[in-house]
Structure 1
Amino acid sequence: MKHRFLSKRYWNNISTAMGDSSGLLSKYDDVINFSLGDPDVTTDMRIITAAFNDAIKGHTHYTDFYGDQELREEICRFYGSEYNYDVAIDSCMITTSGCHAMWLALEAILDDGDEVIIHEPCFTPYQQQIRLARGIPIPLETYEEEEFQINPDRLKKLISNRTKAIIINTPNNPTGTCFRRKTLEEIVKIAKTYDLIIIADDIYTLFSYSEPFIPITTIEDMQERTITIGSFSKNYAMTGWRIGYMLAPEFIIKIVKDINENNVFTAPSISQRAALYALKNRQDIQNSILEEYKKRIMYAYERINKIRNMSVLYPRGSIYLFVNIKKTGLSSEEVAKVMFEKAHVLVLPGNVFGACGEGYIRIAITVGIDKQEEAFNRIENMSIFKKEKQINI
């Protein structure tokens, strides 16, 4: 929107289908929402109760500028016990969500005009977050026939004298891919050869269904050139608490702390206490979350592959399925629109995640199997997906 009172940076529309999706929910009273990755699972009561009790005890003030000391210590212990990986407390900072951590990281490392490579399809905010930090996003396309793995040759061709960092996201939103160790090692080799920083958006680490998750920072010699973004939103069903963290070399963490002083000061104290109890009770809390999402995603996978003009790869990770709808002959936006208008099922068109997402839709498996069943029954009855009648001779 062009207006003299607005910054010219925002005269051209930067809204996304993800950001606009909530406005569609009130159009029909029976919408089934597959659009946003906000689990319908409520935060575990043990977390809520413990955080509530801490608020009563007085945890309602600013925390340390790096974050709650106990929480940072617990995060360091977590990486030690889970990945046999030593993290110094001075290399850990608490942030107001993973998205906030990503912006802080980009703001800390980028000079005007620095380039950041992002593998697409990708999380929709990346491009604008890079631009907000005065960088230039450089898309690296990935493809279904390669299981959306990063191709190292195509990656190397995108590197220039201005390349500063590569953002990786595995398990991936929106494709659900999990990078194989070989893929990670090829990325590591390239990062070392060209002296690049890796920003690892490790948001869906719980949801690695086939193989154990490998943080790229744990690969040899990568700690010094990796910024790890962590979050409690998906792994603990805590989206509304808005709490995340960053692991990085101490000199980066210090600068990030100074930047954040001029941004939000500190993350919410009560949310930090909730995160502490989530980590301490993770084995009891996460098992039920993981099992529920395994059931949901396998049910959706089986239903989708039985629907005419739809297909999807076997679930590997995350809480999303990136569904191929190319056989409909319609664009991603056209399919998403007709699904909403005819079946009252809200999904996101694949092209919003990057140009190579055209021909796909993203489904977030954030509703139970009963609602999924209703949604897929409606979709099967749409003309573009309905099976042709067999003619008996």
Structure 2
Amino acid sequence: MKDKYIAKKYWKDVSTPLKNVYEMASAYDDIINLSVGDPDLTTDPRVTEAAFKDAMAGHTHYTPQRGDVELRRELVYFYRDEYGYDLPIDNVMIVASGNIGMFYAMQAILDPGDEVLIQSPYYLPYPNQVKMAGGIPIEFVTKEEEDYQFNVDRLESMINERTRAIVINSPNNPTGSTLSLDTMKKLAKVVEKYDLLVVCDDIYTAFSYQEKFVPFMTLPGMDKRSIVINSFSKDFLMTGWRVGDIVAPKNIIDTIATINEAVTFTPPSVSQRAAIAALRMRHEIQPPIIAEYKKRAYYAAERINALNNMHVIYPPKGTFYLFINIKDTGLTSTEVCKRILEEAHVLMIPGIGFGQCGEGYVRMCCTLPVEELGKAFDRLGKMSLFRK
């Protein structure tokens, strides 16, 4: 949009495919929306009640700029209990969502012209977050036929003197894939060899269905090279609370704290109290959540693989996303999503929005009950494009 009152750097539209999904969802009265990764299940009432009690007790003021000390300490306990990792509390900072945490990380580490290799397919905002920090996003392709693991030789060939960091996301949005421990160990050697940082988007750690999640940061020597972005949005069904955290070396946390002072100053105090309660009750809260979304993902994958001209890796490895291969249709991902919307009144996201290597795929979110997912696939099964 060209406008003399808008900075020229924003004249070119850099929005993502998510920008218009709510408008698209309102196009039909009977829409089945499988586009946005906002879990349909709500925050556990015990978490909400605990936050409400804390608010009534006076936790409605600014917290320390690096976050509620009690919450930061609880995260230290979490890493010790879950992964046997001793996390210094000075290496933890609370932020107003994982999304802003990633933005801060890029602001802290990039100089103009620095390159960032982004695991692709990728979460939609990554490239813009790199560009807004003056960096250059470079798409590092992972492939379905390689189980979405890193091809280390291909990765090394893309590294040059301007490469600053690598962004990884496992379990992954949009593919639902997870990086194997072997892949992460190979990546660690490359990172050490070229003196790089790794920015780990650890948003879906609870949703690792095949193997227990292992943080890249806990591999030998990688804590000094890792910036970990966490969020309570997905693992605890707290998308609207807008609270997350960053784990990184202290000097990076110090820099991010300075940046944050000019943006949000502190995250919401009540949300931080909710996060404390969620962490303390995680062994009660998370198992039924994980079981429900795993059931949905498995069901949806089976229904997809029973249709014509679409298939997906089975069994799903993580998250509540499925990245559906629709190359046999001979159409683009945008064309397929348009036909699905118009003919079946089901809304999905074109794979091209998740990187160039996403062409030939569409992303669906299993954020509706099995009954609703069943209705969606019944509709798809009636389309000539997918009918057996």
TM-score category (smaller protein)? over 0.9
1:330 aligns with 2:331: yes
Equivalent-residue separation in structure 2 for 1:301 and 1:26 (angstroms): 26
Return 5+ residue gaps in structure 2 as ranges: none
Q: What secondary structure, in the 3-state scheme, does the structure 1 residue paired with 2:245 have?
A: strand
Equivalent-residue separation in structure 2 for 1:22 and 1:149 (angstroms): 33
Q: Which amino acid aligns with 2:190?
A: I
Q: What is the match of residue 132 of structure 1?
A: 132
Alignment of 1:111-260 (within 5 A): 111-260=111-260
Equivalent-residue separation in structure 2 for 1:25 and 1:357 (angstroms): 22
Equivalent-residue separation in structure 2 for 1:7 and 1:141 (angstroms): 32
- Per-residue CA deviation, residues 273-296 of structure 1 (Å, 9 max, x unaligned), is 000100000010001100101110
Q: What secondary structure, in the 3-state scheme, does the structure 2 residue paired with 1:240 have?
A: helix
Q: What secondary structure, in the 3-state scheme, does the structure 2 residue paired with 1:87 have?
A: coil
Alignment of 1:281-360 (within 5 A): 281-314=281-314, 315-360=316-361
Deviation at 1:19, TM superposition (A): 2.2
Q: What is the match of residue 110 of structure 1?
A: 110
Return 5+ residue gaps in structure 1 as ranges: 388-393
Q: What is the match of residue 100 of structure 1?
A: 100
Equivalent-residue separation in structure 2 for 1:241 and 1:342 (angstroms): 36
Equivalent-residue separation in structure 1 for 2:14 and 2:28 (angstroms): 26
Deviation at 1:80, TM superposition (A): 0.2
Equivalent-residue separation in structure 1 for 2:19 and 2:179 (angstroms): 27
Give me the CA root mean square deviation.
0.6
Equivalent-residue separation in structure 2 for 1:197 and 1:119 (angstroms): 14
TM-score (norm 2): 0.99
Q: Which amino acid aligns with 2:194?
A: Y
Q: Which amino acid aligns with 1:151?
A: N
How many matched pairs?
387
Equivalent-residue separation in structure 1 for 2:23 and 2:57 (angstroms): 39
Q: What secondary structure, in the 3-state scheme, does the structure 1 residue paired with 2:140 have?
A: strand
Q: What is the match of residue 390 of structure 1?
A: none
Q: Which amino acid aligns with 2:331?
A: L
TM-score (norm 1): 0.98
Q: Which amino acid aligns with 2:381?
A: E
Q: Which amino acid aligns with 1:127?
A: P
Equivalent-residue separation in structure 1 for 2:293 and 2:177 (angstroms): 16
Identity, % of aligned positions: 51
Q: What secondary structure, in the 3-state scheme, does the structure 1 residue paired with 2:318 have?
A: coil
Deviation at 1:243, TM superposition (A): 0.6
Equivalent-residue separation in structure 2 for 1:199 and 1:119 (angstroms): 11
Q: What is the match of residue 361 of structure 1?
A: 362
Equivalent-residue separation in structure 1 for 2:49 and 2:133 (angstroms): 38
Equivalent-residue separation in structure 2 for 1:281 and 1:21 (angstroms): 34
Deviation at 1:328, TM superposition (A): 0.8
Q: What secondary structure, in the 3-state scheme, does the structure 2 residue paired with 1:227 have?
A: strand
Q: Which amino acid aligns with 2:302?
A: E
Q: What secondary structure, in the 3-state scheme, does the structure 2 residue paired with 1:264 have?
A: coil
- Per-residue CA deviation, residues 289-320 of structure 1 (Å, 9 max, x unaligned), is 00101110111011000001110001011110
Return structure 1 stretches of 4+ with deviation > 6 angstroms. Answer: none
Deviation at 1:27, TM superposition (A): 1.1
Q: Which amino acid aligns with 2:366?
A: I
Q: Which amino acid aligns with 1:164?
A: R
Q: What secondary structure, in the 3-state scheme, does the structure 2 residue paired with 1:19 have?
A: helix
Deviation at 1:14, TM superposition (A): 1.1
Q: What secondary structure, in the 3-state scheme, does the structure 2 residue paired with 1:29 have?
A: coil
Equivalent-residue separation in structure 1 for 2:346 and 2:353 (angstroms): 18
Q: Which amino acid aligns with 1:141?
A: V
Q: What is the match of residue 76 of structure 2?
A: 76
Q: Which amino acid aligns with 2:117?
A: I
Deviation at 1:263, TM superposition (A): 0.6
Q: Which amino acid aligns with 1:135?
A: G
Alignment of 1:39-58 (within 5 A): 39-58=39-58
Deviation at 1:166, TM superposition (A): 0.4
Equivalent-residue separation in structure 1 for 2:281 and 2:45 (angstroms): 11
- Per-residue CA deviation, residues 363-384 of structure 1 (Å, 9 max, x unaligned), is 1110000100000000000110
Q: Which amino acid aligns with 2:179?
A: F
More deviation, 144-153/11-20: 11-20
Equivalent-residue separation in structure 1 for 2:243 and 2:19 (angstroms): 19
Equivalent-residue separation in structure 2 for 1:208 and 1:49 (angstroms): 28
Q: Which amino acid aligns with 1:297?
A: A
Deviation at 1:142, TM superposition (A): 1.1
Deviation at 1:15, TM superposition (A): 1.4
Equivalent-residue separation in structure 2 for 1:23 and 1:160 (angstroms): 42
1:31 aligns with 2:27: no
Deviation at 1:87, TM superposition (A): 0.5
Equivalent-residue separation in structure 2 for 1:111 and 1:239 (angstroms): 31
Q: What is the match of residue 391 of structure 1?
A: none
- Per-residue CA deviation, residues 214-240 of structure 1 (Å, 9 max, x unaligned), is 100000011111001000000000000
Q: What secondary structure, in the 3-state scheme, does the structure 2 residue paired with 1:300 have?
A: helix
Deviation at 1:51, TM superposition (A): 0.4
Q: What secondary structure, in the 3-state scheme, does the structure 1 residue paired with 2:77 have?
A: helix
Q: What secondary structure, in the 3-state scheme, does the structure 1 residue paired with 2:108 have?
A: helix
